[in-house]
Amino acid sequence: MTGAARSRTQAVATRARSFAPVVASDARVLILGSMPGAASLLAGRYYAHPQNQFWRILGAICGAAPELPYLVRLAQLQAHHLALWDVLDSCVREGSLDSAIEHTSAIANDIPRLLRGAPGIRRVCCNGTSAHHALQRYFGGELEALGVSVVRLPSTSPANASWSLARKLDAWRAGLEAPQA
């Protein structure tokens, strides 16, 4: 195989960078992913892969339905006291799967700083096991000291096919119940 053919058939591991947080001053729950996938990075939007069920689930919970314009979806999250970010600021990864993240390359977002700036956030909901593991790896004890509870929710990724949409929706509804201010 020539070098040109090889480069067309093999994905290249590159440094991916996450997006800015979406958070209002009255947020009560922070939703954390691990790192945006390739489709999201290309689109410049959280959860842009058409098979990811995040916006379908949040549409059912707070009206942030996938058919709405992206900025309207973000406004719906904020109107329901939900904030959105990723555990990782950047990492080297080939493709979109969390399992492809080169953990030695990962740099975490400053989650504790965000939480100190939005003191109404009392619960952090992790979108899947990878986000939960990364959050615990970087900030486990620190979040406890801030008095924030952490909930691991089923991943909305198309890679999590073992959970039905209905089952995911039930788990997300329970997890996102905002703590009382």
Superfamily in which the 12-176 domain is placed by CATH = Uracil-DNA glycosylase-like domain (3.40.470.10)
4 has a pLDDT exceeding 50:
no
pLDDT of 31: 98
Q: Are 104 and 131 in contact (CB under 8 A)?
A: no
Q: Which of 53-67, 96-110, 149-163 is the most confident on average?
A: 53-67
The yes-or-no verdict on residue 13 having pLDDT over 80 is no
Decide which of 130 and 9 is more confident: 130
Query: Is residue 167 over pLDDT 80?
Result: yes
Q: Which of 89, 83, 73 is nearest to 17 (CA)?
A: 89
| Pairwise pLDDT comparison (158 vs 167), residue with the higher score | 167
Which residues touch 11 (CB under 8 Å, ≥6 apart)?
Answer: 94, 95
pTM for the full predicted model: 0.88
- Model confidence band, residue 101 (pLDDT cutoffs 50, 70, 90): low
Q: Output the CA torsion sign for 108, 111, 114, 116.
A: negative
Mean pLDDT of all residues belonging to the chain: 87
Q: Positive or negative CA dihedral for 44, 47, 18, 109? A: positive
Edge to edge, the sheet with strand 14-17 lists: 14-17, 88-93, 101-108
